[in-house]
């Protein structure tokens, strides 16, 4: 059995055109197990006009789990016959959204590697992203293991 593949396309239009990005990225989608992307990226890659259509198109490409980060609207995911929606997890007022997507991905993958359910992984992703946006900078608000343990224990996560 091979290793699982997670992928965040992180499309940057200063590096290539949307058309070139879509063509290149569609080629690798069949090898992806966990696709984590923004709503705009999901719509672009699928050519769909709305999110549920994009999720279906992406899952139909053989991707086991598709997770769409939606900022303040939380996240939505599909895979294995289930659709999961998770509310955003702000740890305070939003000060800076830089790094939120990466924090979401880190929290999500942390849980998936521990064997957590799809929904639990998405919840941890939104929680981690919520910490980052409550701080200035792209990594300064990343929660640590103590924050995580406090949060999982039911206590409010500790703000730094």
The candidate with the shortest Cα–Cα distance to 105, out of 9, 2, 28, is: 9
User: Does 102 participate in catalysis according to the annotation?
Assistant: yes
Residue 53: φ, ψ to 5° = -65, -40
- Are the CB atoms for 134 and 141 separated by under 8 Å? yes
Helix crossing, 145-152 with 118-133: angle to 10°?
120
Q: Rounded to whole angstroms, how far apart are CA atoms 133 and 79?
A: 27
Token match 């890659």: residue?
A: 45
Catalytic annotation, pick one of 8, 34, 102, 147:
102
- Catalytic positions, please? 102
């Amino acid at each position: 059995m091979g290793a699982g593949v997670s992928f965040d396309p992180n499309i940057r239009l200063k590096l290539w055109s949307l058309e070139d990005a879509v063509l290149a990225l569609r080629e690798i989608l069949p090898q992806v197990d966990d696709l984590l992307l923004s709503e705009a990226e999901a719509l672009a890659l699928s050519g769909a006009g709305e999110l549920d259509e994009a999720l279906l198109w992406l899952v139909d490409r053989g991707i086991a789990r598709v997770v769409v980060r939606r900022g303040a609207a939380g996240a939505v995911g599909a895979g294995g016959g289930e659709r999961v929606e998770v509310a955003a997890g702000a740890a305070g007022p939003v000060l800076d959204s830089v790094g939120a997507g990466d924090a979401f991905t880190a929290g999500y993958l942390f849980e998936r590697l521990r064997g957590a359910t799809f929904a639990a992984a998405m919840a941890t992703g939104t929680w981690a992203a919520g910490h980052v946006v409550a701080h200035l900078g792209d990594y300064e608000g990343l929660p640590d293991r103590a924050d995580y343990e406090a949060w999982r224990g039911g206590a409010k996560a500790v703000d730094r």
